[in-house]
Structures are given as C-alpha cells and as structure tokens.
Amino acid sequence: IHRTHYARQLGEDLVGKQVRIGGWIEDVRDIGKLAFVTIRDVTGACQAIVTGDNVQAAVQAPRQSAVIIAGTVQKSKAKDFPVEVKVAEFAILTKAVHPLPIDPTGRVESAPDKRLDARALDLRNPKTAAIFHLRSAGLKVVRDTLRGEGFVEVNTPKIIGSASEGGANLFGFDYFKRKAYLAQSPQLYKEQLTLGLDRVFEIGPYFRAENSHTVRHLTEFTSIDVEAAFLDYEDVMDLVEKVVGNVIRDFNENHRVELAAAGVQEIPFGSNKKIDRLTYEQCLDELVKEGEKLSFGDDLSDAALRKLGEMHRGFYFIMDWPLKLKPFYIHEKEGNEKLSKSFDLQHGYLELVSGGRRLHDPERLRSRLVEQGLNPASFSEHLKAFDWGMPPHSGWGLGYDRLMMVLTGSQNVRDVVLYPRDTDRLTP
Ligand code: AMO
C-alpha cells in the first residue's frame, strides 16, 4: 500500500525510473489495446498508460475507486502531462460504488446540501480541498504569530456549569443529574488565566443555540480567542491586525495555487497593512446621513451594517461602542462612561472579531452584572479569581470560519467548515 511519489512530483527528471502512485481513478479512456487512466491524488493528477492484461481491469474500474499503480515514468505526448507512467501493476484497492452522490471532479455541479452530505468525497474536488488546505495553513500562521508575541496556547472546558456570555443562546443538557451547558466562548476562563499565564490563546469549538438561518451563523463554530494582561484595547486591536495581516500575507505569498483553486487571485489588505479604525459614533453619523433612522445607543442592524460595508469595503474596525450594548465584562471608557473600550472587526457587513478591555476590579464587575440583570452568585467561581490580584487585561474572539469565508471568497460559512452544524444539520 505504500507509494514512492505523489502525482505532482512526476517530472522529466524521473524518466526511466520506477514509481508507485496511490490515489483514485478520475478518468479512463479506452482505446482498445491500451487505456489512458487519469489518477489523482491529494497533490494533483497524473496520466497512466495501461496495456495488456491490465486494460480490462482499468476499463471496468469505477471512477473514484482507490488504486495503486506501479510502473516506469516516460515522456508523454499528452498536452496536460509532460510525463506519464507506463503501468506494470494496476491494483484497485477499493471499488467506488456507483451511482456516487456527487461528482467530485466538479464537472457536474452538485447542490451545496448534497456536497455537505458527501463531504469526504467532496474533498476530492480540488476547489474544496484547497479551502481546507488554506484553513489549516491559516491556523499555523495564527499559532506562530501568537506564540511569537508570548502567548501560551491553552485548552479550557467545553462542558461548563454556567453561562459565559450572559445566558442567551445556551445549549443545556443533563450531566449526571445536574444541568450543564456547552461553552459559548472561553471568555471567563481566558480572563482568569491572565492571572497566572499573562497571555493566553485558545483555538476551539464553541456552541450557540442560534436559531438563525443565515450564511454566517452556525451552532458550532471555531473561535480564536486571546487574552492578555497589561494590554489595553488598542494594543489588542494592533494584535488583530498583525494576526489577520500575517495570514493574508502567507496566503498571498505561499499559497497562490490553493487561492487560485478557490477562485481568488490575491487577497487585498490595504497598502500600509493598517485597518481603518472608525468609532461607533462616526459610523452612526455616516449612516444617519445615508438616511438610516438611528440614535446613540442603537445597535447596528444587519441593514445598517450592509450599508456601512458598502461605504467601507474590506476590513475596518468599529470601536468605542455604547457600554450598554456590550457584555458585562467590558470596561467603560475613562472620561465618557456611556462608551466602552470595545471593538469589532468588520469585513463589509460581516463581523469577524469582537473584543475589548475588560473590567478587572471585582466590585465593578459585580455591580455591572447586577446592572445587566445577571446574578453575581451564578458567577461566584469566576469572581473569586478577581480577588486574587487580577491584572488589567484585554482580549478578543475571532470567528475563524468567518475569516476563512472572507479570505477564500466563499459566500457561505458552510463552504469553509468540514461538517457544519446549524439548526437543520446534525449529520454527517
Ligand atoms: P462574540 O459573541 O462577538 O464575542 O463572538 C466572537 C466572534 O465569533 C464569531 N461567531 C460566530 N461565527 C459563526 N457562527 C456563530 N453563531 C457565531 N457567533 C459568533 C463571530 C464573532 O465576531 N467573548 C467574546 C469575544 C471577546 O470579547 O473576547 C465573544 O464571544 O466572528
């Protein structure tokens, strides 16, 4: 079952050499005494020339069956392939059972739901595969960037005993005769951890009982969360810029092939690698001028964000939101307590990141909980850490699925998630 080379490695330097290639059958052209078989593997396609006793096996092999071939590399006359493999051994390892639910070559377009139903097979489509190669590459850049800034990667529980974001949208379930919940974010843990680890980040799945049918909401999504002691909110905005900028640079410089397969030539990211920082009030003014009926304190509706997204193409921050629109843990702005030290990173209408400076004073945190109608007693486990010398801290949560959606030019978050979960979808 072992191979010596991947399809992409076959070049003129190998002419005359013996190779074994493992992959799947994409196409077979039967010309009587011989057959041309296109074999694809994760790196690309190659051509195999099958002769003699192997012709019948090749011609009868169902497309997409797993095969291994062995033979000699020779120059090819085919326009798509500089070299080909003259096959001595042709072994079908597992037959694909037809009809297949989708055509992974992409020649016949399949409905999105059908593709998701057959996701593993869909990954044989180079465009789909490219998206998930990019997704993996991006995570490496994020990890490298954050580690380079002194962040420690942590893993906090996903089964929790009380809400972390205030209570809405929680999935609850029975936990050995007690009530437990799926984590909506690592918010409380990551804040506590700045006490001892100073700078932490976590990449993990979070869960929200979000009853919305949109192209950007899932019930399970991947978040990149950071939290850092002794940094203010503008410092962690710089960090967002660095993380997102590094991912974009890596994709543009090192992953052109995958980007092109996904249908993207180059990801634009401003000339000076800086992202515009608009305040909430600036946005409000711009929107009011455009005829939106909004006044201070109103949240920005989907329609308003779409309008704003047309005025500010690409990435931009909205900062200094009204305090009352933000969760209990967000710090007010000194000198104007109606405002908060908070921000969102937007791409057009789409929110990618939320973050801010947090309250570190336990008394103020307690009174904020009460102001927001929450019971401090339910947060006692969290609050006790604030009595152990909590440093001032700031952080953010970045929806990685949404970032990948933007960077791969996908219109639906489901395109960049292997096995998406939403109100309708629980399988595969
Ligand atoms: P927030 O609730 O804004 O903030 O979430 C942070 C980011 O996570 C992504 N996201 C989602 N993506 C897909 N489907 C969903 N249902 C979904 N919900 C959220 C978005 C969003 O911007 N604790 C704070 C972050 C912080 O302050 O550190 C939080 O969870 O991209």
pLDDT in tens, 272-322: 778 999 999 999 999 999 999 999 999 999 999 999 999 999 999 999 999
Are 200 and 146 in contact by the 8 Å Cβ rule? The answer is no
Q: What number is the average pLDDT over the span 66-80?
A: 96
pLDDT at residue number 60: 95
pLDDT digits (tens, 9 = 90+) for 336-360: 999 999 999 999 999 999 999 999 9
Q: Is any ligand 1 atom within 6 A of the Cβ of residue 351?
A: yes
pLDDT at residue number 269: 86
Span from the CA of 270 to the centroid of ligand 1 (angstroms): 24
The residue whose CA has the least distance to atom 19 of ligand 1 is: 399
- Cα angle value 47/52/56 (rounded, 5°): 80
pLDDT at 149 over 70: yes
Candidate of 165, 224, 325, 354 to mutate for ligand 1, largest count of ligand atoms within 8 Å of Cβ: 354
Are 146 and 225 in contact by the 8 Å Cβ rule? The answer is no
Q: What number is the average pLDDT over the span 94-123?
A: 96
Q: To the nearest 10°, the Cα dihedral for 210, 211, 216, 220?
A: 40
Q: What number is the average pLDDT over the span 322-336?
A: 96
Return the bridge partners of 406, or none. none
Identify the residue whose tokens are 């970045």.
398
Span from the CA of 264 to the centroid of ligand 1 (angstroms): 26
Q: Is any ligand 1 atom within 6 A of the Cβ of residue 355?
A: yes
DSSP for 96-144, written as a single string:
PPSSPSS-TTSSS---HHHHHHTHHHHTTSHHHHHHHHHHHHHHHHHHH
* Check: complex ipTM more than 0.95: yes
**pTM for the whole structure:** 0.97
Span from the CA of 339 to the centroid of ligand 1 (angstroms): 20
pLDDT at 270 over 80: no
Of the CA atoms within 13 Å of residue 136, those in its CB half-sphere come to 7
DSSP E strand boundaries for 242-335: 276-279, 315-319, 332-333
Q: Which helix (H) or strand (E) holds 240?
A: helix 233-254
Q: What percent of the chain has pLDDT over 70?
A: 99
Atom of ligand 1 nearest to the CA of 344: 22
Q: Is any ligand 1 atom within 6 A of the Cβ of residue 396?
A: yes
Q: Is any ligand 1 atom within 6 A of the Cβ of residue 329?
A: no
pLDDT at residue number 271: 65
Q: Is any ligand 1 atom within 6 A of the Cβ of residue 420?
A: no
* pLDDT band, residue 163 (cuts 50/70/90): confident
pLDDT at 364 over 90: yes
Span from the CA of 176 to the centroid of ligand 1 (angstroms): 29
pLDDT at 422 over 80: yes
Q: Is any ligand 1 atom within 6 A of the Cβ of residue 218?
A: yes
Span from the CA of 175 to the centroid of ligand 1 (angstroms): 26
Span from the CA of 336 to the centroid of ligand 1 (angstroms): 26
Of 2-16, 163-177, 234-248, 405-419, minimum mean pLDDT range: 163-177
Q: Is any ligand 1 atom within 6 A of the Cβ of residue 208?
A: yes
